[in-house]
Amino acid sequence: MTAQTSTSASLNILFCALLATAIGQSVMLTTLPSLGREAGLSEFHIATIMSSSALIFAFGTSFWSRVAKKRGYRRILMVGLAGYSAGTLAFAGMWSLGFSGVLSGSVLFIALLVSRSLQSTIMSASPPSAVGYAIAISANAKRVGAISRVTSANNVGQLVGPVFAGVLVSFSLVFPLYCVVIFTLIALFLVWWKLPNINHPSVTTANKGNASAAAKTNKGITLVLVLTCASLFCAMAMMQQTLGFFFIDHYHLTPVQSAQQVGIAMMLSASTALAIQLLIVQKHRISADGMIPLALLCLTLAYFVMYVHQHMMLLYAAMLLMGAGMGLGYPSLAAAATQYCKPGNQAQVTGYITATPAMGYIMGPPVAAMLYQKNIHYPFLAASVLLAGFLILVSYFLLRNK
């Protein structure tokens, strides 16, 4: 097997590992508002569960990124997948106890909060391990494509997850959570069976040139890129926290119907993001520095359309535009951040980048819940304003660095 073939096969396995967790996350985010409403929990209860687990996830990814570099990316990836499987079963079990009447009110909320937080502690090992592995086996010139190839699993997961949830919620709202464990267990077996250790001869050959490649070091712009990446997910968290309740309160849908409509909306966004990554990002048609402002512009417009929309079809159009922005944004920001930093700080920056989704979910849900009480459209406006500000900021830094 050639080095190139081995690298490609490893990237495919990493894709499958992140796909399994992405499906699980997509199912959870699709069903969580409906689960909360059905169990009698408020928007703030759901926001607290999401933001608290995201805070733990953010710290966890930074910790696991350093551990993975010392202990091995493959081993820590397996830890993350195993933790995700066990944690999902525990989290789903708490919902089942709530629906059966064993737990209710504050006791149910605390049980859900604790189980989800414990899950985040371990599952946060997966993203930095997978992305760190992808960076380690890819030359600098191919880094954007490698990161895009692995992280595009998130978009595929957002396509598969809502369909999966939409079909299975007809049995019960919590049933999809139990079923997603099948995917993470399969991914765990695949990583154990097929993914080589990082010191595999073909891997080190594929990675030649990375150590000697000159990095465009700039500490200031690296920080801005990490914060910009976090803002993408903060805006997305505000949207996801809001959308399920929005369909119930604005369009007067039932919790089950709302979960299904959220699934459709997320599928539209994910399909666009995936197409963008396959046709543009992985083909290296635009540089990373060129994709970042374009992504932020698309996202700013998308959330503004969500704010002003009056008909569901316009909301779906905004989700397509949002997908284009996310497809361009995350891989280009991740690649640029790891290229602008010093080579010795690459593991640390990788940890920060893979923590940005969690960073976004720390602030996004509670802010969205607070704004939602004022006006159900305000979370969309706040997301648009946030990204417009980062569009100006990152454009300034990129231009100054040229």
111-153 pLDDT tens trace: 999 999 999 999 999 999 998 899 888 877 677 778 888 888 8
Look up residue 208 and give its two tokens: 């030649």
- Domain 3-401 falls in which CATH fold? Growth Hormone; Chain: A; (1.20.1250)
Lowest-confidence region among 184-188, 219-223, 302-306? 219-223
Nearest residue to 148 (alpha-carbon basis) of 276, 25, 271: 276
pLDDT, averaged across the chain: 87
Highest-pLDDT range among 10-14, 202-206, 249-253, 362-366: 10-14
Query: Which residue blocks in 39-72 are alpha helix, DSSP H?
Result: 43-71
* Residue 46: both structure tokens together: 């759901």
Asked if 201 and 194 count as a contact pair (C-beta separation under 8 A), the reply is: no
325, pLDDT greater than 50: yes
Say how far residue 383 (Cα) sits from the centre of its chain: 17
- Span of 157-161, 193-197, 236-240 with lowest mean pLDDT: 157-161
**What CA–CA distance (Å, rounded) separates 171 from 178?**
12
Length of the chain: 402
Domain boundaries of the chain, sorted by first residue = 3-401
What residues contact 324, with CB distance under 8 A and at least 6 apart? Answer: 272, 273, 276, 295, 298
Q: What is the mean pLDDT of residues 246-265?
A: 86
* Averaged pLDDT for residues 222-230: 93
Cα 44 to Cα 83: distance, rounded to the nearest angstrom: 26
Within a 10 A sphere around the Cβ of 216, how many other Cβ atoms?
11
Amino acid at 50: M
| Residue 90 confidence class, pLDDT cut points 50, 70, 90 | very high
pLDDT of residue 212: 39
Alpha helices in 207-254 (DSSP H): 219-249
Model confidence pLDDT, tens digit, residues 341-353: 877 777 788 788 8
Q: What is the pLDDT of residues 35-81, one digit of tens each?
A: 998 999 988 898 889 888 888 988 898 899 889 988 999 999 999 99
| Pair 173, 23: CB distance under 8 Å | no
Average pLDDT value for residue range 297-306: 97
Compute the CA torsion angle 159, 165, 168, 173 (nearest 10 deg).
180
pLDDT bracket for residue 216 (50, 70, 90)? low
Amino acid at 358: A
